[in-house]
Amino acid sequence: MLFKNQKKIDNHIASGVFLFIVILISASLAYSHGGKHAPGDFTHLQALKKATELYDQLIEKGKLDQSWENKLVQVDVFKRGTDDIDEIVVSFQRAKGDPTTVYIFFDASGEYAGSNFTGK
């Protein structure tokens, strides 16, 4: 019984370390890139920060089960768009489970535009 609890603690520590590293790398990129963006632009770093907060809320509220926190393996931020609509997408991918990826969308100004498991 002690070992099962230890595994849960190890998973929480690993998740915390992973998120800490992502934030640390993101912060260093934010301070090193200079002023390349116009003041009103919503950056990938801002999208990552905002999406991580929303992602944590979804887990806390039970909309995503605990495996989304414990089994997270990759986070991607990318821009996509059509001729008239640009959006920034942040995807969180876990190692196992169905579905394996949750997508969080923001419009070009940084407003939350939705989330789903399909990326569409």
Neighbour-count burial of 104, counting CB atoms closer than 10 A to its CB (0-12 exposed, 13-18 middle, 19+ buried): buried
What's the number of domains the chain is made of?
A: 1
Q: How many angstroms separate the CA atoms of 35 and 5, rounded?
A: 47
- Over residues 32-87, the pLDDT tens digits come to 554 444 545 888 999 999 999 999 999 999 998 888 888 889 999 999 887 677 89
Question: pTM here?
Answer: 0.65
* Parent domain of 100: 2-34+41-116
Read off the tokens for 95: 């190692």
- Over residues 89-111, the pLDDT tens digits come to 999 999 888 999 999 999 988 99
